[in-house]
Amino acid sequence: MKSQLRLLVVISGLSVALVGCTFPSSRRTLPRSASGSMSVEQTGVVTNVREVNIEGRRTNLGLFGGGILGGAAASGGSGVGGAVVQAGGAVVGAIAGEAVEEAATRKLAQEITVRLDDGRTVVVTQEISTGKYQDGDRVRVLDGYGHARVSMATN
């Protein structure tokens, strides 16, 4: 029984590791929908910045992985009582697995308010990995492909 549990844990760990793998690239990768699309670039000044969280993913990996591990951890009993305990462990494991996945994939972001040069005000939310902005920064706002992003202005 212990060898089966170890095998299950190893397989689950490998599955999680492989799902997170991506091939590195020095170029920015755009969605397929960006091909042939037009973007509009405008410049402005940051007037307000607020840190926020972007919610993480909730996929079947966390749900099923947690359920399998919870059910395996609660196994060992026999009869109806053992089956009820194992089912309860699977449900608790599924809930916990989904919550762990969401927390692990959550991203720190900034909600950036920009007063554009034409007088309009826009708000863009983006991950902090793309740069941290402060009030007074001169920025450009690129709006296209169904998304907007802020970057430092070059002039």
Say what the alpha-carbon torsion angle 107, 54, 22, 67 is, to the nearest 10 degrees.
100
Q: Regarding predicted confidence, which is higher, 73 or 141?
A: 141
pLDDT tens string 75-134: 776 666 666 666 677 777 777 777 777 777 777 888 999 999 999 999 998 888 766 888
Reported as a pLDDT band with limits 50, 70 and 90, residue 30 is: low
Q: Regarding predicted confidence, which is higher, 105 or 9?
A: 105
Closest CA to 98 of 66, 74, 143: 66
Does residue 14 have a pLDDT over 60?
A: no
Q: Regarding predicted confidence, which is higher, 127 or 135?
A: 135
pLDDT of residue 139: 93
Q: What percent of the chain has pLDDT over 70?
A: 59
| pTM of the predicted structure, to 2 decimals | 0.54
Reported as a pLDDT band with limits 50, 70 and 90, residue 58 is: confident
Q: Are 73 and 90 in contact (CB under 8 A)?
A: no
How confident is the model over 44-73, as a mean pLDDT? 77
